[in-house]
Amino acid sequence: MTALVTPMKGGRIDEEALRRLVDEQIAAGIDGLVAVGTTGESPTLSHEEHVIAVRIVIDQAKKRVPVIAGAGSNSTQEAIDLAKACKKAGADGLLQVTPYYNKPTQDGLYRHFRAVLEAAPLPTILYNVPGRTGCDLAPGTIGYLAELDNIVGVKEATGSPVRAQQIIAHCDGKLVVLSGDDATALALYAVGARGVISVSSNVVPADVAAMWDAVKAHDFERARMLHYKILDLTDLLFIESNPIPVKAALHLMGKIENEIRPPLYPLAGSNLDRLRNELVRLGLVS
């Protein structure tokens, strides 16, 4: 699944570009789309913009693939409000990040997610990314949450195959683990992860989709080849805070305007040169 960027033009959501991206992603073989996650600039979109972007993706996808709506917040009530709005918009599921900055306890995390699920029951993927949130959802807590209705997966973005194995062991098949880190996706597949919510697939959707398809077909030689083909690109897409580099790549490819919401600013200087060179090497720009 692709964690879609939110294209912008003149300070507003670029609906035309977003619709094009949805069609291109589906045509390339992506199995699902995540609208307005971290890559979609959820921290700096207004509540209204957030829901508009989700609606655009749902409308353009036309049920060809599932659309998972980012609907998390560090405020439980705001997460509930977003979840209800995304459910009303027709989302197939929700992505719920751990509350950031205020650092709840494990019990607080359990209560937070349970409250959201009770208010807006939809298939829900938990999202653990402590490097961004300052909050780590422990494998044991995920195991307790897996007992709740509608928890179907966890986006595991610590970048640790060991952590993925711990979650799989605690959850005993009750939910699926999805890689939230492109560089370690193949390693997580090898220990039982069932997919990836990818940043890189904004740029190379066919390769990311083909890598997972190869794993499903037990063709790990092909999967490894695809992994190493895009490894340098994956590294460069995190050379600065996501989604700065991925939006720069899509702009260089002529797909979106070079706009991002402050306090993030467009990629420039030597980092932009390095990214451009890699896109040239892959034949994505001339």
Count of CB atoms situated within 10 Å of the CB of 105? 10
How many helices (H) and strands (E) the chain has is answered by 13, 9
Q: Where are the alpha helices (DSSP H) in 68-219?
A: 76-89, 106-119, 130-133, 139-145, 161-171, 185-190, 205-216
Residue 151's beta-bridge partner residues? Answer: 124
Q: Establish how many alpha carbons lie within 13 A of residue 181's alpha carbon, considering only the half-sphere containing its beta carbon.
A: 17
Q: What is the C-alpha to C-alpha distance for residues 217 and 201, in angstroms, rounded to an integer?
A: 20
Annotated active-site residue 103? The verdict is: no
Annotated active-site residue 155? The verdict is: yes
265: tokens are 């600013």
* Candidate list 63, 87, 88, 127, residue with the active-site label: 127
Count of CB atoms situated within 10 Å of the CB of 194? 16
* Candidate list 87, 144, 155, 247, residue with the active-site label: 155
Residue 128's beta-bridge partner residues? Answer: 156
- By annotation, the residues acting in catalysis are 127, 155
